[in-house]
Amino acid sequence: MVLEASGLLGIGIVSGLFMAFFIGANDIGNAMGATLGCKALSLKKIIILAIVFELVGSILLGGFVAQTVSSGLIKFPAGEVSELRVREYMLIMVSVLVGSGVWLCVATLFSVPVSTTHSIVGSIIGLGIYLETNSGWNSVEWFTIGKICTAWVLSPLLGGLASLVCWYPLKKFTFLSESPSSNIFRALPALTGISGGVLILFILYKGLTPLKLEPPIYIVLPVSIVIAVLIGLVMWKFGVPFIRGKVNDESDTGHLQVIAEELSSPDKVEPQEWTDQDEGVKAEVATETLDQEMVDAENLNRTEAATITVETNVEPSQVERSTSPTVDELVNLTEKHAFNFLVIITSCCIATAHGANDISNASGPLGAVVWMYFNRVLPTSETKTELWVTAVAAVGLVLGLSTLGYRVMKTLGNKITKLTPARAFVAQLGTAFITLTGSILNLPLSTTHIIVGAVYGISIIDCKSVRDLQWKTLGGIVLSWVITIPASSIVSLIVFVLLRFAL
């Protein structure tokens, strides 16, 4: 035999890093694209935030899905097996890592958002079928595969449903209400508490396992609710005044100050655009209130539509009013600052969720290789992925994100719909919740599926007709998902056949 088990271990570690690198480069770009698209954070800040919380999610929560990926997809003989069979299994996992990593590398270099979960699971399925055909193994756990495929189909649907349930009432309570700005500030503490509570719930429920603490759900749930309420109270007491002050300060020093509110009559004032005819300077003004006293004054005098303050070198006679009927034009400084803050919180949630779920696509097969090398027995559904293995995968993930992550992140940012801070918040909150739930249920869900479904759910509410939806973009995304499975399977199979000659 040419290739010993130690050689397979070395190749496996390098392959695991390679796979994790492109998970960071491609899949995190999918997850964090909404944050970049709504301009809540700069690319540099997104990368820093993602690195921190991806590490938190992968180390605290990443081991659970890894068990499914490493030992739950292929059925292996029970009891003692030969040394050759042990190395053959190690070779399977190494081939899966190499094949999936190569496909992700190609997709990332072409800035195509694909599902790393599709890639890794597709590779395992392909090799399992090959083993059934050529090695006499009853290899594929079709029941587990069926659950995963069902989860793939349900993921975008659940993502869309989550955004529908959240976006419709939020939009109606704030942007379509009589007092949008005031209602945004009223909703901010509750939204902040919910966002923080979701993250706390899953960390407490699954994240304490490395400390050998596994509190039951009937304890975790009340504690999470209490913490969420406290977060909301802190936001109400300190956060809302701070954000309101930032809005007022920026209004006073910026090009425009918008201190108006829609009238309480049925005909709401639409966003307005004022033009400096001499200089050709345009500034879009959304009719929002930033001061409750102005609301009271307007209720007494409804003949005033808005109070606008422009730069001192622009005379009132120099401006011309025009109106725009679209809802998007209502976005103003209040939404920008309030929802940008929420987007940052949900970005932390989604990075944690992604680290918990998708790190398993690298740590699962790598953990299986390590287990086989040191124990010389096949892994089972009870086999735990070593913490240091997850940490190694997390390092590769961070390197990929910080070097190539911007490519796919920019692709997904605004391809489906224009992402305002409010829309991005809703999409990311739903994505984080569903992804974290999948991690707890040990299902390797696709973050890409969920975020795409969530964004399309928002688009369904905002569009006037289904024809307005970006069906071409959706078709391209779905096509990339379909191609990923056979492409990664073929590459993995080629790697397996080539390396097998060394055994």
pLDDT, tens digit (0-9, with 9 covering 90-100), for 360-386: 778 888 888 888 888 877 776 667 777
Do 238 and 171 belong together in one domain?
Answer: no
Range of the domain at 193: 180-249
pLDDT for position 361: 79
Among candidate residues 218, 249, 280, the one where a domain is terminated = 249
Cα dihedral sign, 307-313-319-325: negative
Angle at the Cα of 149 (from 147 to 155), degrees rounded to 5? 100
Domain match, 27 and 171 both: yes
**Co-location of 113 and 185 in the same domain:** no
Share of the chain above pLDDT 70, in %: 69
Tokens 């422009």 sit on residue? 310
At which residue do the structure tokens 């949008």 appear?
A: 180
pLDDT of residue 277 exceeding 80, the answer is no
50 and 136 share one domain: yes
Classify residue 94: in a domain, yes or no: yes
Full DSSP string of 445-467: --HHHHHHHHHHHHHHHH-SSGG
Region 252-260: mean pLDDT is 43
Distances from the Cα of 313 to the Cαs of 108, 251, 307, in angstroms? 49, 16, 17
| Contact between residue 288 and residue 260 where contact means Cβ atoms under 8 Å apart | yes
d(CA 394, CA 58): 7
Residues 91 and 127 in one domain: yes
Distance CA 27, CA 401 (A): 9
Same domain flag for 263 and 189:
no
State which of 194-208, 277-291, 483-497 shows the largest mean pLDDT. Answer: 483-497
Task: Verify that 109 and 53 share a domain, yes or no.
Answer: yes
- Asked if the structure places residue 338 within a domain, the reply is no
Q: Is the pLDDT of residue 128 over 50?
A: yes
Question: What's the token pair of residue 396?
Answer: 């590769």
Q: Does residue 335 fall inside a structural domain?
A: no
- Which of 124, 137, 171, 152 has its CA nearest to residue 361? 124
The pTM score is 0.69
Q: Say if residue 309 is in the same domain as residue 359.
A: no
Do 290 and 209 lie in one domain? The reply is: no
Q: Are 218 and 318 within one domain? A: no
Q: Residue 222: what pLDDT? A: 92
Tell me how far CA of residue 492 lies from CA of 64, 460, 471, 499, in angstroms: 24, 38, 32, 11
Same-domain pairing of 162 and 18: yes
* Residue 74: inside a domain: yes
pLDDT (tens digit, 9 = 90+) per residue, 69-121?
Answer: 555 566 655 555 667 777 878 888 889 899 889 988 888 887 777 777 778 87
Which of 249, 283, 310 is at the close of a domain? 249
The answer on 302 and 410 residing in a single domain is no
pLDDT at residue 39 is higher than 50: yes
Of residues 270 and 499, which shows the higher confidence score?
Answer: 499
Three-state secondary structure call for residue 257:
strand
**pLDDT band (50, 70, 90) for residue 322:** very low
Each residue's pLDDT tens digit, 349-360: 778 777 776 777
> Is residue 350 a contact partner of residue 49, using CB atoms and an 8 Å limit?
no
Task: Write the pLDDT tens digit of every residue in 402-443.
Answer: 888 777 776 666 666 677 888 889 988 888 788 777 767 766
Residue 341 lies in a domain: no
**What gap in Å lies between CA 125 and CA 197, rounded to an integer?**
37
Last residue of a domain, one of 212, 228, 249: 249
Residue 342 lies in a domain: no
Total domains in the fold of the chain: 3
Flag whether 346 is in a domain: no
> How does residue 281 score in pLDDT terms, banded at 50, 70 and 90?
very low
